[in-house]
A and B are shown apart, each in its own frame.
Chain A
Amino acid sequence: DAEITQSPRHKITETGRQVTLACHQTWNHNNMFWYRQDLGHGLRLIHYSYGVQDTNKGEVSDGYSVSRSNTEDLPLTLESAASSQTSVYFCASSESALTSGSLADTQYFGPGTRLTVL
C-alpha cells in the first residue's frame, strides 16, 4: 500500500545545530507540504512543493529550508535550530485536483516528528 513516512519520529538537538527531517511518500504525488503543529495554533505551513525542483515558502518559513530532487522526498532542514522551533512537524502530500478530476486536493499526512531543541 502507498504511504507517507517521516523520520526520525523523535529528535532532541541543541540550539545552533543543523537538523534535517525526512519525508518520503510512495503515492507518486506531485504536491508535498511541511507543517508545524503547536498548541493553540493548529497546523501552520512551513514550505511546500508542487513538483521536482519546485519549492515555495509558507506562512512560517524563517529558519527552514527544503529541496525537492525527486518526486518521493521532501526533506526539511533547520539551518541553525532554535528553541522556538521545538514543535511537532508533519509532512503531507496530495495529488493535484487537476490530475485526479476531484474538485479538492485531499492531503495525506505522515505520522509526525516530535523535535525538541534544548
Chain B
Amino acid sequence: GNSVTQMEGPVTLSEEAFLTINCTYTATGYPSLFWYVQYPGEGLQLLLKATKADDKGSNKGFEATYRKETTSFHLEKGSVQVSDSAVYFCALSDRDSARQLTFGSGTQLTVLP
C-alpha cells in the first residue's frame, strides 16, 4: 500500500534560517505529490504539488522536487519568516487508488524572531 514518511518534529528555527523538511514515500503506482500547510486553528491549505518525476513545485518561497530515484519530495525554503510557523504535511495521491490522499504525520515548524 501507499505510505508517506515525514521528518520528525517539532522543528524550531530562527528567522531567515534555511528550512528542509524531509519526506519520502512508498507507492504502488505513479503518484502525484503534495505539501499542505496548516496554520493554527485552521484547515489544511495546498502549498505546492508535483505530478511527475523531476517536476518542481513552488509557492510562497517554498520548493520541492519530485525525485523518483530516491522516492522523495523534500520541502525547502531559503529564508523562513515568523509567519511560516505552522504544521506541514506531505501527501501523495495515486490514481490507482482512486484520487485518495495518503498523508504523512506532519511536522510542526516554529520560527522565532
Which residues does A use to contact B, with CB under 8 Å? 31, 33, 40-45, 48, 50, 58, 90, 92, 94, 96-97, 102-112
Contacts and interface: CB of A to CB of B under 8 A. Distances in A.
Interface string B24-50: 000000001010100001111110010
Interface residues of B, number: 25
A45 B43 contact: no
Contacts of B106: 42
B89 A42 contact: yes
Contacts, number: 57
B110 interface: no
Given A31-B99, A48-B100, A96-B99, A104 B43 contact: no
A110 B42 CA distance: 8
Interface centre among A58, A103, A104, A109 (most CB of B within 10 A): A104
A103 B50 CA distance: 9
Nearest to A106: B46
Contact of A103 (B6, B32, B89): B32
Given A42-B89, A43-B89, A107 B42 contact: no
Contacts of A107: 46, 101
Closest 5 CB pairs of A and B: A104-B32, A109-B43, A103-B51, A42-B103, A42-B105
Contact of A105 (B99, B103, B104): B99
B65 interface: no
B52 interface: yes
Contacts of A33: 100-101
